[in-house]
A and B are shown apart, each in its own frame.
Chain A
Amino acid sequence: MAVMNLRQAIQNAMDIEMGRDPRVFIIGEDVGRNGCSFGQYNGLPDKYGDRRVVNAPISESVITGMGVGAAAAGLRPVVHHDFIDFLGCCFDEILNQAAKLRWMLGGQMLMPLTIDVFAGGGSASASQHSQSLEALFTHIPGIKVVTTSSPADAKGLLASAIRDDDPVMIIHNKGLLGMTGEVPEGEYLIPIGKANVVREGSDVTLVSYSRMVHECLGAADDLAKEGVSAEVIDLRSLVPLDKEAIFASLEKTGRLVIVHEAVGKSGFGAEVAAVVAEEALDLLDAPIRRVTALFSPVPYSAALESAYFPDKSKVISAVKSLGLVKQ
């Protein structure tokens, strides 16, 4: 184990994957020698050269579309965009090309494309630089969508995304850029499609992913002081979804609170709730609750961000609303 921050863990995974497979390359804006926005790919251009670390102009469409083409022609591209908000500029390349090409062409080639992006708010970056848009992509058949909540997960999931033969979108959270943690050294893979039970408990299941996992853990600590035992599940992978992990937890707790940073309406929590309602309603002893952002663009003012985003105290209120604690 080594202690790394999120940037170092991402760089470590990229370095190992580029070292072991010459087909892996990265393309993105400012990933060149002058250093990229978040600094996570600094150093790689010197080690692997401009051929494999391609600094791109501000051209999201061709960056993503060329990734589709390069994947179709046998490479394993990592397409990086700093902000998930910018994927609006290359939605076709994701929606109609990366996701569908292999299927539409009857499976004649693979599409081992990785799309690596940062989501999340809380840094006064306002509406076009703070969004959590994962649900837009989980709605598209043909793409896998994974999220990271720690440096170790970022390393293990990025490596798995690169080795996966399907298009994988890996979504990191800007709010976790300062986080450090223990990270396994050397090759490290986290299976895509498996959830992580980060804290065991028996009274309520908190299903979450990305930055909100930490708000759930904080809530679980506080709830424990009031005698409520919360289990916290980090889904890690949204598509495919580890339904069994959720059901297994509900067998114990009978109560479900879903927490995500994105807005609630048509958010990924709705999918989780629907799956549980359809397949495991009998496991529930209480209504399902969702704790999400408000249904509006992300506001700029710090005074509004706190009202807007879900946090530990909102998670605790949701749990209490299930009648677990005398109020």
Chain B
Amino acid sequence: MEHSKEVLLEIYRTMTRIRAFEEKGAELARTGKMHGTLHLYSGEEAIAAGVCSCLRETDRITSTHRGHGHCIAKGADVKRMMAEIFGKSTGYSKGKGGSMHIADISKGIIGANGIVGAGMPIAVGVAFAQKYQNEDNVTVAFFGDGATNRGTFHESVNLAAILNLPVVFVCENNHYGMSTAFAYHSKNKTVSQRAQAYDIPGVRVDGNDPVAVREAASEAIIRARAGEGPTLVECVTWRHHGHFLGDAGLYKSPEDEKYWRGHDPIPVFEKKLLEEGIAGQAEIEAVQAETNAEITEAVRFAEESSYPESSVIFEDLYEEIPADFFMR
């Protein structure tokens, strides 16, 4: 598979944008400038960036509690994302959703989700609607290794398989669900082998290599678009932070941590771009400076935005506020 310079640089830009967003979030939350529970995506950027590099704007994704990276890679506006996490009225959900509920329907982002494993059935439904309406769009469901033990994973893969739906199941195997290791919570050595149980293709790739991710995702997406049904793509990776900001991650072994920090997807990809002559040092630095500036601007936007009026509480609940909401 050929990858143009533009595509590779765009993937790199997405990865640095995600990293800058996450690390700025960590800094703001640590210093108390931002509230809420943050599940950071740092270390896993190659997956969202690689997969979404194969998607059209009209394709859809569902995401997880660790969803900032997916949203950014699928084209969400970092200003509105940051404002949402700040709880401001200019956020994607008017400040009602926060970090775990970011979505941009216009960009095909059906939403992050606070319930582990909840995105997969929704993705199946979105893919069903795409097929039903004769679109040639596909849906990607992102989820973690821990989520593969929910019934929703098994039910979703099976239904998508029997109905031949245009879904790609992308598992981000970062070795842990909270503090519980994959090696403990799964008897299977890999997630991808679970595909066999449902007679669909399953592949396993280095989730810290955006090109490997892109190649696997591209094949799965082409299959899905051609009406050949779902694929399970397992991307093996590592989260740099704890489960959420504030979890020190003491359960991770120092050797693993050291190994994976040495395979940080961003510097590794940078090196590849330089060594293969795809980009020069100046280009790399320019991208970094630009994405950092975008995030600085996003924070400024969020800080300057106003908090929502309490009237938004009753907005979006029903088409019309029912009469019985008001006391006599």
> Are B114 and A59 in touch, CB under 8 angstroms?
no
CB pair B36 A300 closer than 8 Å: yes
In the complex, chain A residues whose CB is within 8 Å of the CB of B317: 295-297
A125 to B114, CA, bound (A): 9
Q: Is the CB of A57 within 8 A of B87?
A: no
Contact with B along A52-94 (1 / 0, CB 8 A): 0001011111000000000000000000000001101100000
Q: Is B177 an interface residue (CB 8 A)?
A: yes
**Interfacial chain A residues near B308, Cβ < 8 Å:** 301, 303-304
B98-A304 in contact (CB<8A):
no
B147 at the interface (CB under 8 A from A): yes
A307 near B: Cβ within 8 Å? yes
- Given A34-B250, A300-B87, check contact A58 B100 (CB 8 Å): no
| Complex alpha-carbon distance, A296 and B177, angstroms | 30
Give the Cβ gap from A305 to chain B, nearest Cβ, in Å: 9
Per the bound structure, the CA–CA distance linking A128 and B149 in Å amounts to: 20
Q: Is the CB of B151 within 8 A of A59?
A: yes
SS class, residues of chain B in contact with chain A:
loop
Is B24 engaged at the interface, CB distance under 8 Å to the other chain?
A: no
Q: Is there an interface contact between B310 and A307, defined as CB atoms closer than 8 Å?
A: yes
Q: Across the interface, do A129 and B146 meet the contact criterion of CB distance under 8 Å?
A: no
Query: Is there a chain B Cβ closer than 8 Å to A15's Cβ?
Result: no
* B157 CB → nearest A CB, Å: 16
Q: Are B96 and A58 in contact (CB under 8 A)?
A: no
Beta-carbon contact of A300 and B186 below 8 Å: no
Cβ contact of A88, chosen from B115, B184, B310, B325, cutoff 8 A: B115
Across-interface contacts of B178 in A (CB, < 8 A): 29-30, 37
User: Contacts A299-B95, A300-B95 given: A57-B101 contact, CB under 8 Å?
Assistant: no
In the complex, A145 Cα to B46 Cα: how many Å?
A: 46
Does the CB pair A57–B115 fall under 8 Å?
no
Q: Which of A25-64 contact B (CB under 8 A)?
A: 29-30, 32, 34-35, 37, 55, 57-61
Residues of A contacting B88 in the complex (Cβ-Cβ under 8 angstroms): 301
B96–A304 contact, CB under 8 A? yes
Contacts of A86 on B, CB cut-off 8 Å?
A: 115
Q: Contact at B37–A129, with CB atoms within 8 Å?
A: yes
Task: Report yes or no: A304 in contact with B312, Cβ–Cβ below 8 A.
Answer: yes
Asked if A30 and B180 sit within 8 Å, CB to CB, the answer is yes
Interface membership of chain A positions 284-314, coded 1 if the CB is closer than 8 angstroms to chain B and 0 otherwise: 0000000000111101111110011000000
Query: Please, how many angstroms separate the alpha-carbon atoms of A123 and B246 in the complex?
Result: 14
Whether the Cβ atoms of B115 and A300 lie closer than 8 Å is no
Whether A304 and B151, one on each chain, are in contact in the complex, defined by CB atoms closer than 8 angstroms, is no
Query: Are A128 and B114 in contact, with the CB atoms below 8 A?
Result: yes
A residues contacting B by CB (< 8 A) are 29-30, 32, 34-35, 37, 55, 57-61, 85-86, 88-89, 123-129, 294-297, 299-304, 307-308
- List residues of B whose CB falls within 8 A of some A CB: 35-37, 87-88, 93, 95-101, 113-117, 146-147, 149-151, 177-180, 184-186, 250-251, 307-308, 310, 312-314, 317, 325
The 9 closest A-B pairs by CB, nearest first: A301-B87, A300-B98, A128-B114, A303-B307, A301-B95, A307-B310, A34-B179, A57-B149, A34-B251
**Extra A-B contacts (16), CB below 8 Å, given A57-B186, A294-B314:** A29-B177, A37-B178, A57-B177, A58-B150, A59-B149, A60-B150, A89-B117, A124-B87, A126-B97, A128-B101, A296-B313, A299-B313, A301-B96, A301-B307, A303-B308, A304-B313
